[in-house]
Structure 1
């Protein structure tokens, strides 16, 4: 099944988005331009400035059969912002246990490309709401497409987008429609190349009581050194399923987290042991509530 949430007027999204981005560029230029004879007064009508951290296009994963920390701690594969930044997860080392600190990358696009990007996303079916059929895949996450148009933000969720492409339960039209969206997701992922490392200013820390007796490769018990937690009090704001969340400045926790793994036991002064998942906050996010969607 799929879910689309388009606003009423989604016609000519590229044109309207172009005007929004023009406002962003004008606002940026205004910071360096000096006034001269004949210039309009500062309060003259002009396009409203656009926050550079406005999401224009995003692909994210939601739901699926997995742990609570995975549900809330996922990073969107691609987020494109109004100033042309494309932020994506960085390469993941094939080690177990995995490194605790997730890397992020940024690529800079010309903001003038964004209206065309929006048009292509809508042409691929993001703004449509017809049935994409059942796949019989029940444990895979859904892919959520978010696109900014002149009528507002359009959201479409597709269950088991990649995993369900070969399902015999789909009609030819449903399979073709899914393939258009799958191709869009692949195209958007390709925007993150070439990329440079990107560092957030804050990180959400997801905490739950440590699971004792974890096993490593070959079934041997993991024997990992404890790390003292010096950040905000745990477990923090409840997110459900025994999971808590606190927000910390990156400079307070990155040094310790960079030397830890996803299986590291973190200790607090009261003797409690915790498992922690570090979820960097993206430019449009401000706290734990942003991770519950």
Structure 2
């Protein structure tokens, strides 16, 4: 999903930003302000070289409902200018909040280089074999890293679900999975420790809303409170001919209105648009994403 303009490549973007020291930071060393909201008539900004993805940990596949699959966020995304966007903690309550707790911070060029080296050392390189454990319907953990040598992506099925001594895995495969899992599990603490300041809430320039007709979940406490939908007209465009969820994107004033309304909403909230109730999964778009089409590639 990375998009670059002109003759840029991801490796070239990494090299430039590492050499020039363009990690975003204030004079005090804290992360610079997040992306500013666009006006009500402007589309999301066109991604540039600074938005080139250099490290990502994400999940693919697994036994997941279509709307959750389409709206699934990567665990951690790191960009060429040192920005890190990651999933922060969420309260252990049901139903959960309507908005994901995305956080962001900034790495210095030296720390960014160190982080990429750690990913390569953890096995994100050609030839690493993670095997196929005896676990059904589990997601695949994918790790992508971009260095001056190019882009590398590896995938480990059931990285967290499989037994470390799964008999379907060789000793070498077990050891490779152990190294990758240690890197993935420690990545959150690692990036936070490397940041130039405290993590801040991530405010997107655009927010995708994945909608489908609301169905009463049968909550014993009763029907959740309905909230008027303040975003673009629902239901929006179909993301796939084989699945029901549709998608719209809120920017500018509509984005502000959705974020404000979602502050007191939950994952079960019925959103009302033109006398119909909708279940809406709110998915902040990341720097390299520009619209619903980017979610169609979800696996």
Q: 8 Å contact 1:165–1:175 — kept in the other structure? A: no
* TM-score under structure 2 length normalisation: 0.78
Superposed, which structure 2 residues align to 1:13-28 within 5 Å? 19-22=15-18, 24-25=20-21
Q: What corresponds to 2:27 in structure 1?
A: none
Q: What corresponds to 1:242 in structure 2?
A: 244
Q: What corresponds to 1:178 in structure 2?
A: 177
Partners of 1:113 and 1:55 lie apart in 2 by 16
Q: What corresponds to 1:210 in structure 2?
A: 214
**Mind listing any 5+ residue stretches in structure 2 that lack a counterpart?**
1-9, 25-47
Pairs aligned (count):
254
Aligned-pair CA distance for 1:204: 0.6
Q: 8 Å contact 1:17–1:149 — kept in the other structure? A: no
Aligned-pair CA distance for 1:130: 4.4
Q: What corresponds to 2:54 in structure 1?
A: 56
Q: 8 Å contact 2:23–2:109 — kept in the other structure? A: no
Partners of 1:25 and 1:272 lie apart in 2 by 51
Render the CA deviation track for 1:228-263: whole Å, top value 9, x for unaligned. 112112221212320111110231311111111111
Q: What corresponds to 1:39 in structure 2?
A: none
Aligned-pair CA distance for 1:89: 1.3
Superposed, which structure 2 residues align to 1:1-293 within 5 Å? 19-22=15-18, 24-25=20-21, 51-166=49-164, 167-190=166-189, 191-192=191-192, 194-212=198-216, 214-216=217-219, 220=220, 222-240=222-240, 241-249=243-251, 250-269=255-274, 271-291=275-295, 292-293=297-298
Partners of 2:89 and 2:23 lie apart in 1 by 35
Q: 8 Å contact 2:14–2:147 — kept in the other structure? A: no
Aligned-pair CA distance for 1:185: 0.7
The CA RMSD over aligned residues, in Å, is: 2.4
Q: 8 Å contact 2:23–2:106 — kept in the other structure? A: no
Aligned-pair CA distance for 1:23: 5.5
Q: 8 Å contact 1:86–1:106 — kept in the other structure? A: yes
Aligned-pair CA distance for 1:165: 3.9
Q: Which moved more, 1:177-186 or 1:189-198?
A: 189-198
* TM-score under structure 1 length normalisation: 0.79
Partners of 2:157 and 2:185 lie apart in 1 by 16
The structure whose Rg is larger is 1
Partners of 1:207 and 1:142 lie apart in 2 by 25
Q: 8 Å contact 1:140–1:159 — kept in the other structure? A: yes
Q: Which moved more, 1:175-184 or 1:101-110?
A: 101-110
Render the CA deviation track for 1:67-118: whole Å, top value 9, x for unaligned. 1121111221111111212111122011111110112111221122222322
- Residues 27/202 of structure 1: CA separation in 2 closer, same or farther (3 Å cut): closer
Q: SS state of the match for residue 176, structure 1? A: helix
